[in-house]
Structure 1
C-alpha cells in the first residue's frame, strides 16, 4: 500500500476537521460526525483526528467485497489503488411487469433459451433486486411520507376514521374489490399511528420502513391462506398501500353514511371528510407508484381510488376518467388480461378470485363509462382471455357470450356481482360493434343473435339472485337487495342498448320494444329511489344508478313524448304512471334528496330535471281540439294537435348525426331546444 503523503493526510486546524474526499465505498463516521470511509482509514487518513474517542466500526461485509473487487480490478488493469475508478451506485432498472409475445424482451429470451440449449446453462442475474441493497430511497419522498404520518397524528384523525369505518362495515357493505383486506389494513393503520410519539425523527423512521416494505415482493404460493397473505402488508410489514386502502375505505364510508356524528352532521362537513380522506388515498398511492413495483395490493388500491374519485369528483370528471385509465394500465402491466398462464393459475384460490373480480369490474366500468361519456373504450375483449370469479376448475371455459355455469347455492355477494358485470360487459362490447355496421340487415342479424345470448345468460343466473318481483316485495337483506337491483338494471341496460342499435336511421316512429325496456328500467330506478332507506350501497351508488340507468330511460321516454306526445298507443303503460315516475325522478333530484347543489353530478341531474319538468308541463297543459274563432275577424287558428303536427314535421331529430346517445349533459341541452318546448 502506498505511503500516505501530507497532501492526503487528515489534519486539524483551529479545531476544525475537514471531511475526507467523496468515496463510493461504505462510509464510517468518527465522534465529531465527519464522514471517513474505510478505504481512507486504511491509507492513514484520519490518523491525526484528535476528536476521535471511540474506535471505528468494522467495515461491513458488502464493503469488504467491494474493496476486494476494486483491488482485483486494479491488479488486472495495471493501476494503483489510488487510481481505481469507484464502482457505480446501485441503479434501479424499470420493472417491466407482464411482457407479451411481441415484446423485444420475450423475443431475445427465446434466443437465450436456444443458446442455452446449445452451449449449456449460464448464470443469470436476479431480476428482482433486494430492496435493502439495490434501492436508495429518495430523501424527498421520505420527507413527504413523514409529513403524512405527522399530519395524521397531529390532527388525531385515525381514531375518528376508525370509528367511521367500523360503523360503515357494520351495515354489511365494504369495498367492492378490496373488501377482504380492509379490516386488517384498518387495524394496522390504527396500531401504527397510535404507537407513534409525534416526533419528526420517528415519522422519518416510519416512512423509511414503509418504503422498504412497499418495495418488498409479496410472498405467496398455491397453499397461502388469506391471513398469511395479509401478513405481507399488515402488522410489522405495513406498506403505503395498507394506509391507502384504509383511507379509501373511510372515504367510501363517508359517501354512504349521510350522518356520522360527531365526525360530521351536515352535508358540508361530510363533503370535507370525503375530500380529506380521498386526498390521503391519492397521496399514499402517489408514494407507491415511483417505486415501480406494481402488485396486487397496488392494483386493488388503484381501482378503489378510481371508484372513490367517480363518487367524490363526479362521473364526468376528467380526473375520474384518467384514474380509470390507471386501473386498466395496472391490469395490463400485471398481465391479468391473460389469465390462462401458469403463473396466474398458481396463485391461491382466493387471490385468483380477487384478480378475476378486478378484471371483470374494471372491464365493466370501462364499458359503462365509455357509453356514459361517449368516448372510446380502453379494454378490448379481442386482446383479453379472462375467467369469471369462482371458475377454478381445470376445464373451466373463458368468459364469453355463452351462458355461464352458476352454482345453485350461489350467494349474493361482490363475487356474484362481479361475475354478472363481466358477462354484461361482454355483451355491451359486442353491441357497441353493431353501431359501426352500416348494413342494417347485417346489423339486425347480429343483434338477434346477441338477443338470444342475453336471455340465455339471464336465465342461467340462479333464481335466488334474480329480481323477478317488485323491490318492495323482495324479502332480502338491504345489501342483497342492492345487489339484485344492480344485476337487474345491468340486464335491462344491455337490452336497452341492443334495441337502440336497431333503431333505423332517420326513423320517426317509436320503437315499442325500446320504450318497454325504458319504462322497466325507469320504474326500477324510481322504486329504488323511494326505498333508498331499505338498501345498502353494494358498490354501485344510487346516484350512479340514477345518472346512468335512470336518465337513459327517462331520455328515451321524453324524446318519445316530444316526438309523439299524442300517440298514446305508443306506450304499453298508462300515461299516468309514466308521468308519475318522471315526476318522482324530477322531484327527488330537485328537492335535494339525491344530490346537493355542490355534488359533482348535480349539473347533469339538474339540467335533466328542468327538461323533464318542461316536457311534463307541456304535455299536461289543457288544450282543446275545437276550432278557436276570434270574435272580431272570425279567423280560424290551428288546433293544438295541428300545432304539434306542424312542429313534428320531421325536420328535428335528435339522433340524425349520432350512432350512440349517451344521455349525458349535451343530450338534455339539445332536447331542451326542441321547438315544442319553446312555444
Structure 2
C-alpha cells in the first residue's frame, strides 16, 4: 500500500489538542485576543484583576503531545492513508472517527507565569533595556547580525522596549504581562503562501509579543557583547563583559525554557534554539556538554518540524522568505553537526540519506537537491549569510562522505572513493564565483570586515575538507604525506593571518577562537607530528620551513599574551596546552636539535614511549575511537607531550 508522510499545515506549526473534561467551560476569561485587551498598548489594570481573580476558574484539560512531523512508517500516517484510499465497499465498515475538538489554549500553570513575572521585574529593576538596544545597534552597524534571526531583531528590540515600558514595577502588572506572553506563545504563528515579511513581523510584536521575541533579542545582545570589547555603561572591562555575556545568555535561556513546555513548535522557536546554541558554544566553550546538548535540541526540532524533508507540500506552501529561512536553518545546523562531531570525535546526528534538503538563496535554475554535484551560483549576490550557509552545507555533505570512508576496510576501495571525492571537492570550489573565493592574502581584499570573514570561512572550510580527506587516506597517523603537509601549512597560514588581522574582521557566525581551535590546531597538530617523527624518510620542505616556524611562533605568542583568549575563557585550557607543546618544539628548533630539513633522532627512547609511538604509527584512523587524531583536542597534545623527542633536555 502506498504511503506518504503526514503533512504539516502551511505554517509548519502543529499544535497540541486540548480536550476539555465533561462540564468544563468552553472558554476562559484569559482567552484574550491580541487585537483587544492583549494589545501591547492597552490599559492592563482590568486584565490584571481578571488574571488574579479568575486563575482558579481555568478549565481543566487533558493535554495530548504535539506529534509534529510524522513520516511514512508512522502508524498514524498508515491509518490516514487507509481512510483516504478506502473503497466504497468498505466505507460503511470503517467508522468515521469522531471530530476532534478545536484546539484550546495550552494549559499554563501559575508557577510558569510567576517565573516569567520575576524575569520582567528583574529587567525593570535593571533599567538597562535602552542600553541593551544601543549595544545591539552598534553591533549590527558593523554589518553582522544573527545568522538566522537577524532579519527579526529590529522588530524584537522594539517589542521588548514596548513590553517593558508597560511594567510599573508591581507584581500584578508583571504577572499580567507574563500571562500575555504565555497566551501569545501558545498560539501557532499562522502564515499563508502570500504572507509578506512585514506581515510576519507584525504577528510577532505589539499585542502578539511572545517569549520567543524576547529570547531572540537577548541572544542578539549577548552576541554583541561577545564581539564588542567595550560598551559603557554596560561593561568597561573584560571581567564585566564576561559577566554581562552570561547575564544576557541567562535571559535568553529563561525565555526559551518558557516556550518549550508549551509544546507549540514554530519557526521562531527553532531560530531561537539555534542562536541560543551558538551563544552557548561561545560562552560555555566548544567542548562543553551544554553546547553539545543544545545542538541536539536544534536537530530534534528540525526533525519534529519536518524540515529534513523539504519536498513536502506543506514545506513548499510557505512564503518564499520563510522557506529560505527554513533551508538556511537546516544548512547551518547540518554543517554544525558535522563540524562539532569532528571536533569532539563523536558520531554525527544528521545523516543525509534520511534527508532531502535544498540550498537557500536565488537559483538560476530550478532548485536541486543538495548534493556533491557542482552547484550553480548567482554571481550577482555578494558574500552573505546565505552564500556562507550554502557553502557550509556543501562542505558538510563532503565531510559526511569522508567520515564514511573510515568504515571502509579495503584500502584500495577507500583510495578509489577518495580520489572521486577529491575531484568533487575541487569542482565544487571552482563552481563558486570568484568574488566569493579567497585566492590570495586577506589583506589584499578591499571589502567590508564582515565580507572578509565570509570569504575566510569559505576558504577555511574548503581547505579543511581537503585536509580531512588526505588525513583519512593516510596509512600512518604520525607520518603525514607531502600533500597533507602542504594543506596543513596553507590552513595554518590562513588562520594565523586571520589572527593578525582580527581588527579587520567581524564575526560572521563563527568566532576567531573557533577558527583557531578547529582549523588552526588541526593543521598545527599534523605539522608537529611531522616534525617530531623520527622514522620519516621525507625531508621537511625547505621553501616552507621558515614560514611554518613563523606561523607557529605567532600562534604561540597571541595565545600567551592573552590577545586571543583570556585565562577564564572556556577554550583556554585546550589552546594553552597546545601552545606549551608547540613552544617546546620551537625551543628544540632554535637550539639546533634539527639538522638541515631533517630531525635528529633522540639518543634514547624509553620502552614505554617506543611502544606508545609504535602503536600510533600502526593505527588506523578512526574518528569515533580513542585513537582518532582528527579532533586534535587536549588528549592529542597530552600524548604528543610524552613523545621521546620532546622529553629530551634542550641543548643550547
Query: TM-score under structure 2 normalisation?
Result: 0.85
What are the residue-to-residue correspondences of 1:358-507 with 2, within 5 Å?
358-390=329-361, 395-504=366-475, 506=476
Partner residue in 2 for 1:194:
165
Kept in 1, the 8 Å contact 2:218–2:249? The answer is yes
Residue 669 (structure 1) aligned to one of 620, 624, 638 = 638
Matched, 1:232 2:206: no
1:523 aligns with 493
Contact 1:221–1:346 (CA under 8 A) maintained in structure 2: yes
Residues 314-335 of structure 1: per-residue CA shift (max 9 Å, x gap): 0000011000000000000000
CA 126–474 in structure 1, closer or farther in 2 if over 3 Å, else same? farther
Structure 2 match to 1:652: 613
Cα distance in structure 2, aligned partners of 1:127 and 1:537: 49
Distance in 1 (CA, whole Å) between partners of 2:438 and 2:577 is 31
Question: What is the root-mean-square deviation of aligned Cα atoms in Å?
Answer: 2.5
Q: CA deviation at 1:380?
A: 0.5
Listed as ranges, the matches of 1:18-37 within 5 Å are none
Residues 372-412 of structure 1, C-alpha deviations (whole Å, 9 max, x = no match): 00001100001000000026688321000000110121221
Q: Which runs of 5+ in 1 are unaligned?
A: 1-22, 29-86, 626-638
- SS of the counterpart of 1:643? coil
- Of 136-145 and 655-664, deviating more is 655-664
With over 3 angstroms needed to count, the CA separation of the structure-2 counterparts of 1:116 and 1:209, relative to structure 1, is farther
Structure 2 residue aligned with 1:582: 552
What is the CA-CA distance between 1:198 and the residue it aligns to? 1.5
| Shift in Å, 1:194 | 1.9
In the superposition, relative to structure 1, how do residues 644 and 494 fare at CA in structure 2: closer, same or farther (>3 Å)?
farther
1:539 aligns with 2:502: no
Q: Deviations over 1:327-382 (max 9, x none)?
A: 00000000000000011011111111110010000000000000000001100001
Contact 2:414/2:473, CA 8 A, preserved across alignment: yes
- Provide the rounded CA distance (Å) in 1 between the counterparts of 2:102 and 2:551: 59
Counterpart mapping for 1:57-456 below 5 A: 89-115=60-86, 118-119=90-91, 125=99, 129-131=103-105, 135-390=106-361, 395-456=366-427
CA distance in 1, matches of 2:419, 2:528: 27
The alpha-carbon distance between structure 1 residues 401 and 212, as it changes in their structure 2 partners (threshold 3 A), is same
The runs of 5 or more residues in structure 2 that have no matched partner are 1-21, 28-57, 624-628
Q: Work out whether residues 410 and 462 of structure 1, in 8 Å CA contact, stay in contact via their aligned partners in 2.
A: no
Are 2:531 and 1:558 aligned? no
- Which string of whole-angstrom CA distances, capped at 9 and with x for unpartnered residues, describes residues 61-95 of structure 1? xxxxxxxxxxxxxxxxxxxxxxxxxx993222111
SS in 2 for 1:485: helix
Task: Answer yes or no: is the 8 Å Cα contact 1:360–1:419 preserved in 2.
Answer: yes
Per-residue Cα deviation, 1:550-591 (whole angstroms, up to 9, x for no partner): 000000001101115997833264321111000000110111
Alignment check: 8 A CA contact 1:303 1:324 kept:
yes
Aligned length: 583
Q: Is the CA contact (8 Å cut-off) linking 2:363 and 2:376 kept in structure 1?
A: no
CA distance in 2, matches of 1:321, 1:644: 44
Give the deviation of 1:122 after TM superposition. Answer: 5.0
2:602 aligned residue: 643
- Give me the whole-angstrom Cα distance separating, in 2, the residues matched to 1:309 and 1:598: 15
SS in 1 for 2:474: coil
- RCO greater where, 1 or 2, for CA within 8 Å and sep 6 or more? 2
Q: Is the 8 A contact 1:241 1:288 kept in 2?
A: yes
TM-score for both structures, normalised by structure 1: 0.82
Larger Rg: 1
Alignment CA distance shift 1:341-1:288 (3 Å): same
Note closer, same or farther for the CA distance 1:580–1:202 as it changes in structure 2 (3 Å cut).
Answer: same
Give a deviation string over 1:586-610, Cα, whole Å, max 9, x none. 1101110010000000000000000
Q: After superposition, what is the alpha-carbon deviation per residue over 1:262-304, rounded to whole angstroms, capped at 9, x for unaligned?
A: 2111110000011001101111000000000111000000000
